């Protein structure tokens, strides 16, 4: 169906942070399939693990116990400091599970119309419930009526949440991304996350942090909220968890971990042996190869290039993000930049992205080294400068 405005390139193979199209042209991958290819392309350990698992068991069904699912759940619990995991196949499914946990948590406490606090510019997926939680009118348009039970607030505005707390006795949860991804690489501030944790504790609300895009080591910690030193009650994951094999997971703790009983939720594919093995191997490589530290250092190297080369350029409004989740906000719409990037030089193109119409977004693989990151950052600087110089009247920074 006509759902994607694809760029005109067919990628045929990859190696690390490099890709080649069907005509043999080379590209430096600054997007990693939108934060999915955690270990880059064709990683020997991930390829071997997937091949080995495929030769043993791909799928059995949750009718039976799945050993690798239990092993992966234990690993995610250890990394997050949380208790239990439900496995599914994508980000929106993980978020659907989170929303169901919040609603049932409310019903179990006698709240028959539970409401969930959500955010301007948030993105949580494209099912009817998760698009309703999403704070973007373009995502809603044509799909009304939206699911009820959401109260929307601006990000990093504690007073707005406190006001809801006073006015609305039906609130059961706060649901936000630690760093908004589709919303333009907009971080929830560390102090804000800490204050939300305290408010949720005081009110008996669940703090639900969507780590689908910012989790799995991308910011230099396993999960981006860990920079605030807090624990969520519910944490949806997906994208980079299995290095490219479809998977989703919702990790929960305390009361939230025991909301579901048999029959409350389920999925055919979720937690199948193939996806769980790929996730376990992805996590093992991150640990063995020190990829959290790499994400932080490599991200800093790119930030340094952007600060030096772009921060005082007219038409640049902001440079933000953490680790390998970076955004450069322009004063004007720049949706054509990814297409220009494909043609960056004679030797190779760049795979980069624009979100919110004017934020150039970088989400490279965690295996990207400083040398490759510098090539990427230099390329982005050139493309952005060229683009701005060709605009009629770039606004002053
Ligand atoms: C923060 C966040 N949540 C949820 C989703 C939806 O994930 P999926 O596309 O796997 O359904 C995305 C996808 O971009 C996301 O960035």
Question: Using one digit for the tens of pLDDT, what is the confidence trace for 263-314?
Answer: 999 999 999 999 999 999 999 999 999 999 999 999 999 999 999 999 999 9
Atom of ligand 1 nearest to the CA of 126: 11
Pocket, ligand 1, Cβ cutoff 6 A: 90-92, 95, 123-125, 177, 181-182, 210, 212-213, 238
Residue of 239, 246, 325, 361 with the most ligand 1 atoms within 8 Å of its CB, for mutation: 239
CATH 3.90.1150.10 location in the chain: 11-30+290-389
Q: How many Å separate Cα 229 from the centre of its chain? A: 19
Confidence of residue 392 (pLDDT cuts 50, 70, 90): confident
Whose CA is closest to atom 4 on ligand 1?
Answer: 124
CB 182 within 8 A of CB 355: yes
Task: Determine how β-strand 248-252 pairs with β-strand 84-88.
Answer: antiparallel
Dump pLDDT digits (tens) for 81-110: 999 999 999 999 999 999 999 999 999 999
Task: Determine how β-strand 359-362 pairs with β-strand 325-330.
Answer: antiparallel
What length is written for the chain? Answer: 397
> d(Cα 29, Cα 41) in Å, to the nearest integer?
10
Dump pLDDT digits (tens) for 200-246: 999 999 999 999 999 999 999 999 999 999 999 999 999 999 999 99
**Contacts for 54 with CB less than 8 Å, ≥ 6 apart:** 274
Read off the pLDDT of each residue in 25-45 and give the average, rounded to a whole number: 98
Atom of ligand 1 nearest to the CA of 125: 6
Give 212 Cα–ligand 1 centroid separation in angstroms. 6
Q: Please check the confidence at residue 251 and state whether its pLDDT lies above 80.
A: yes
Q: Name the nearest CA neighbour of 7 among 348, 255, 350, 291.
A: 350
Give 123 Cα–ligand 1 centroid separation in angstroms. 7
Residue of 123, 133, 184, 359 with the most ligand 1 atoms within 8 Å of its CB, for mutation: 123
Q: What is the CA radius of gyration of the chain?
A: 21
Q: Please check the confidence at residue 13 and state whether its pLDDT lies above 80.
A: yes
Give 395 Cα–ligand 1 centroid separation in angstroms. 32
Q: Is the dihedral of CA 171, 176, 182, 185 positive or negative?
A: positive
Classify residue 347 by its DSSP letter.
Answer: S
HEC assignment per residue over 60-79? CCCCCCCHHHHHHHHHHHHH
Q: Is the dihedral of CA 370, 371, 372, 375 positive or negative?
A: positive
3-state secondary structure of 113: coil
Confidence of residue 396 (pLDDT cuts 50, 70, 90): low
Options 3.40.50.300, 3.10.450.240, 3.40.50.720, 3.40.640.10; CATH for 45-288 is 3.40.640.10
CB 160 within 8 A of CB 152: no
Dump pLDDT digits (tens) for 110-134: 999 999 999 999 999 999 999 999 9
Establish whether the linkage from the previous residue to 145 is cis, with ω within 30° of 0: yes
> d(Cα 397, Cα 393) in Å, to the nearest integer?
12
Give 110 Cα–ligand 1 centroid separation in angstroms. 31
Backbone conformation region of residue 323, classed left if phi is above 0, alpha if psi is from -120 to 50, else beta: left
Q: Please check the confidence at residue 186 and state whether its pLDDT lies above 70.
A: yes
CB 366 within 8 A of CB 215: no
CB 25 within 8 A of CB 341: no
Sequence-ordered alpha helix ranges (H) in the chain? 32-35, 44-56, 67-80, 91-108, 128-133, 137-140, 158-167, 190-203, 254-257, 273-288, 291-310, 337-342, 370-389
CATH classification (class only), 11-30+290-389: alpha beta
3-state secondary structure of 52: helix
The strand pairing partners of 152, in sequence order, are 118
**What integer pLDDT is reported at residue 393 of this predicted model?**
62
Atom of ligand 1 nearest to the CA of 177: 1
Dump pLDDT digits (tens) for 316-369: 999 999 999 999 999 999 999 999 999 999 999 999 999 999 999 999 999 999
> d(Cα 378, Cα 372) in Å, to the nearest integer?
10
Q: Edge-to-edge strands of the sheet including 11-15?
A: 11-15, 18-21, 26-29, 348-351
Q: Please check the confidence at residue 394 and state whether its pLDDT lies above 80.
A: no
CATH 3.40.640.10 location in the chain: 45-288
Give 248 Cα–ligand 1 centroid separation in angstroms. 10
């Amino acid at each position: 169906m006509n759902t994607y405005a694809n760029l005109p390139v067919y990628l045929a193979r990859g190696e690390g942070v490099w890709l080649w199209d069907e005509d043999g042209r080379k590209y430096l991958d600054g997007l990693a399939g939108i934060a999915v290819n955690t270990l880059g392309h064709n990683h020997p350990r991930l390829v071997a693990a997937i091949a080995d698992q495929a030769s043993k068991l791909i799928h059995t069904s949750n009718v039976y116990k799945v050993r690798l699912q239990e092993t992966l759940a234990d690993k995610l619990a250890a990394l997050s400091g949380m208790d239990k995991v439900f496995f599914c196949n994508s980000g929106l499914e993980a978020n659907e599970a989170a929303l169901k946990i919040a609603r049932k948590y409310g019903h179990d406490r006698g709240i028959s119309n539970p409401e969930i606090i959500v955010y301007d510019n948030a993105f949580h997926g494209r099912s009817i419930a998760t698009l309703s939680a999403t704070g973007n009118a373009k995502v809603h348009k044509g799909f009304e009526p939206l699911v009820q039970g959401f109260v929307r607030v601006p990000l990093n505005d504690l007073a707005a949440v406190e006001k809801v707390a006073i006015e609305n006795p039906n609130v059961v949860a706060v649901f936000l991304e630690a760093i908004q991804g589709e919303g333009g690489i907009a971080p929830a501030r560390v102090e804000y996350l800490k204050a939300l944790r305290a408010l949720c504790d005081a009110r008996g609300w669940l703090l639900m942090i969507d780590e689908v895009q910012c989790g799995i080591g991308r910011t230099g910690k396993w999960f981006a909220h860990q920079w605030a030193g807090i624990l969520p009650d519910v944490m949806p994951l997906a994208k980079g968890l299995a290095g490219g094999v479809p998977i989703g997971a919702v990790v929960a703790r305390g009361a939230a971990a025991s909301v579901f009983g048999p029959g409350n939720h389920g999925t055919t594919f979720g937690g199948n042996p193939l996806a769980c093995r790929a996730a376990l191997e992805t996590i093992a490589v991150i640990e063995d190869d020190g990829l959290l530290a790499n994400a932080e250092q490599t991200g800093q190297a790119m930030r340094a290039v952007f600060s030096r080369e772009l921060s005082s350029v007219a038409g640049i409004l902001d440079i933000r993000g953490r680790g390998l989740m970076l955004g450069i906000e322009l004063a004007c719409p720049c949706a054509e930049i990814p297409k220009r990037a494909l043609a960056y030089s004679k030797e190779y193109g760049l795979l980069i992205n624009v979100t919110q119409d004017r934020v150039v977004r970088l989400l490279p693989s965690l295996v990207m080294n400083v040398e490759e990151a510098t090539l990427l950052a230099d390329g982005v600087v050139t493309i952005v400068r060229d683009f701005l110089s060709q605009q009629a009247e770039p606004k002053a920074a």
